[in-house]
Amino acid sequence: MPLERPADILTAALEAFVENGFAATRLEDIAARAGVSKGTLYLYFESKDALFKAAVRENIVPIVERAEQRVDEFEGSSRDLLVEVVRGWWKAMHESRITGLPKLVLAESSNFPEAARFYFDEVVVRVRGLFARALRRGIESGEFRELDVDYTVRVAMAPIVMALIWKHSMVKCQIDGLDFDRQLNALIDILLHGVVREPAAETKDAPHGKRRGQP
């Protein structure tokens, strides 16, 4: 059915890019995987670069858009929102066919800067924005302490990206397997203890170990 062909081609392209890398993936291989001719592929996509961009837009951008809407509508605490953002992004990347894209983009960015820039603008910038909004919401509400939000976002996201890279490199070689749930739980624990505002500490000038304000 012709209307199904673009979706089939994009699925095949994403799988091929993740398995083989951007440079090693050939258009004829994508066509064969999708069950179409190379000529049919060109009816929909003019180049491998166009295929990559379309595959990202089809498979990742909708996930980001749903997450942005969720942040807009969230009514709970900022602590719960931050945890949901972390877990949601990990789940989206870890449990789907897009899981190998961070490794692909980082490994081949110097050779394909246009594709890397596209991924950065369409995905990375917007996901950083999700984390940043959760943090700023908590700072404004008084739940979180004052932070360097931009770099806290980088620190929070880095272990997620590294776990995905590890999954598609060392773990595939059966070296240093990860318990991904434990790693995510550890990340959330460290992150929350780093951002949540602590109760007022005892002051040195309070007599007999009493806190300021106590009778």
Contact 200, 130 (CB under 8 A): no
Domain with CATH 1.10.357.10 in the chain: 60-195
Question: Is CATH 1.10.357.10 correct for 60-195?
Answer: yes
Domain with CATH 1.10.10.60 in the chain: 2-55
Q: Give the tens place of pLDDT for each residue, 110-129.
A: 999 999 999 999 999 999 99
pTM for the whole structure:
0.83
Chain mean pLDDT for the chain:
88
Residues belonging to the chain: 215
Q: Give the tens place of pLDDT for each residue, 52-104.
A: 999 999 888 899 999 999 999 999 999 999 999 999 999 988 888 788 889 99
Top CATH class of 2-55 equals: mainly alpha
- Which are the contacts of 72, defined by CB distance < 8 A and separation ≥ 6? none
CA distance 182 to 96: 19
Contact 81, 74 (CB under 8 A): yes
Distances 192 to 15, 81, 109, 138, 176 between C-alpha atoms, Å: 35, 11, 32, 11, 27
